[in-house]
Structure 1
């Protein structure tokens, strides 16, 4: 009976250990191969030291596996000492939903077309790098994107009109680049969601397309460009805008009869050529921030609401604006 007992114990042991051994390596071999190629392309940086081919890639730093499929769904490389370009092998991670290359000042080159193959992407953040070249039109193929951040780079050229073909976009960050040309009319033609738009600190010119007045934006930051003309069509009592920043442009219109929505909490129009009076409606708003300095405004600052809670710097250097917190009107 002893040999039989040993045999049964052996079977029990094997039945317990074999699944454990197979479960140990969760990582998909194709994903592991792609990640190792990415590591090689980036010259084996210290931040990827955990990427040991003898270990499970689902346990590696920077990446994350889906618990159900065990496919790589997140790649987040942040503040690493790497140099070179975004590796083409990133295209061989087809299940990626999040892709981040951020605060990598030695990351250069253009945004690679390999990214166009990542059709499952929901979040794409390539920011605080030295990426250059144009914003590629192929980004409009990534229909699942909800967040696109290309800020703090050296991107140049115009904004591709096709960017409005992203139906699920909640936020678009193109700020702090070297973009030129006019704002495409298509940015007022998003068909599903209306994203927050951040276009500040570029070299954009021309007028703001009137099509933007057809949508209910929540955040518009177009500050520090060379935009001209009238943006009063962005306001109205039926709008939902909360934060609007068009400071340091060359806007020129009469503010007197503009009606503001109750939703507005932050308004920055400093350093433009805006004329007229401050509307009484501003005193009805629960403003957290206001700056209309360095314009051509006149008349008394309306009394009430939050308008007297801001200091004089919010109103200075206008043509003949007066009243608290500025000196009294004559």
Structure 2
């Protein structure tokens, strides 16, 4: 049976909003695009396309069951909450139209899924300030529309992959545990604060004489 858009959005609210900060009620569902806090934009058919729920002390995990009913989302922002668990590898399948993803300053763990490369429409991915581990997947270079990738303040290890897309304007992988060489093309385009400090093995903070860009390409 078809579930109305308000019912689908309430499903997400009931899973994450344990402190009842969001007054989403069935009696207001007909006007939810205009009046429900956090629902910023809807498609003509009433499907939610922009959901912004920042700093609401939301808890729980971003599961496939939670995300799948929101398949029309273009923008998802859940910054500065208390979300836990993994970033599901199935996120691109659940939200195939997603363009902007903001999950900064939560308590998310596990790796940055390589499957994020399947978010073909993505322009912004912000995962700063979590507890993410593992390596940064080279597959993210497949995101040809990506303009911003912020992964700073996590526990990531390994090397910085070559992200060759010319669309990339903002990159930050600082405050992790990365090591090794910074790809020359990235070192030429972004200043040292995009990469340093890092606390991986053999960490070296080398800069140019002007102190603006890494010179030896070693973290």
Shift of the 86–68 alpha-carbon distance from structure 1 to 2, 3 Å rule, reads same
C-alpha separation in 1, matches of 2:98 and 2:155: 25
Shift of the 148–85 alpha-carbon distance from structure 1 to 2, 3 Å rule, reads same
Establish whether residue 124 from structure 1 lines up as the match of residue 101 from structure 2.
Answer: yes
Establish whether residue 47 from structure 1 lines up as the match of residue 21 from structure 2.
Answer: yes
Which has the bigger relative contact order, CA under 8 A and spacing at least 6?
Answer: 2
Provide runs of 4+ in structure 1 moved above 4 Å: 226-229
The residue number in structure 2 matching 1:72 is 48
Contact kept? 2:92, 2:118, Cα under 8 Å: yes
Establish whether residue 177 from structure 1 lines up as the match of residue 131 from structure 2.
Answer: no
Cα deviation, residue 70, structure 1: 2.7
Contact kept? 1:197, 1:219, Cα under 8 Å: no
Higher fraction of strand: 1
The residue number in structure 2 matching 1:206 is 180
Which runs of no fewer than 5 residues in structure 1 stay unpaired? 1-27, 230-248, 261-265, 274-330
TM-score in terms of structure 1 length? 0.57
Which runs of no fewer than 5 residues in structure 2 stay unpaired? none
Q: 2:113 aligns with which of 113, 133, 136?
A: 136
Look at both structures and tell me which one has the larger radius of gyration over its CA atoms.
Answer: 1
C-alpha separation in 2, matches of 1:252 and 1:218: 14
Matched ranges for 1:150-169 at <5 A: 150-169=127-146
C-alpha separation in 2, matches of 1:67 and 1:143: 20
C-alpha separation in 2, matches of 1:143 and 1:219: 27
C-alpha separation in 2, matches of 1:204 and 1:73: 35
C-alpha separation in 1, matches of 2:144 and 2:103: 20
The residue number in structure 2 matching 1:145 is 122
Shift of the 38–67 alpha-carbon distance from structure 1 to 2, 3 Å rule, reads closer
The residue number in structure 2 matching 1:96 is 73
Cα deviation, residue 210, structure 1: 3.0
Q: Deviations over 1:16-55 (max 9, x none)?
A: xxxxxxxxxxxx9442222121122225432212x11121
Q: Deviations over 1:60-106 (max 9, x none)?
A: 111123363432011111111232212432221111010011111x3
C-alpha separation in 2, matches of 1:53 and 1:206: 54
The residue number in structure 1 matching 2:204 is 250
Shift of the 202–90 alpha-carbon distance from structure 1 to 2, 3 Å rule, reads same
Contact kept? 2:99, 2:122, Cα under 8 Å: yes
Q: 1:267 aligns with which of 184, 188, 212?
A: 212
Contact kept? 2:175, 2:199, Cα under 8 Å: no
Shift of the 89–31 alpha-carbon distance from structure 1 to 2, 3 Å rule, reads farther
Contact kept? 2:196, 2:205, Cα under 8 Å: no
Shift of the 102–206 alpha-carbon distance from structure 1 to 2, 3 Å rule, reads same
The residue number in structure 1 matching 2:197 is 224
Shift of the 114–92 alpha-carbon distance from structure 1 to 2, 3 Å rule, reads farther
Shift of the 173–83 alpha-carbon distance from structure 1 to 2, 3 Å rule, reads same
TM-score in terms of structure 2 length? 0.83
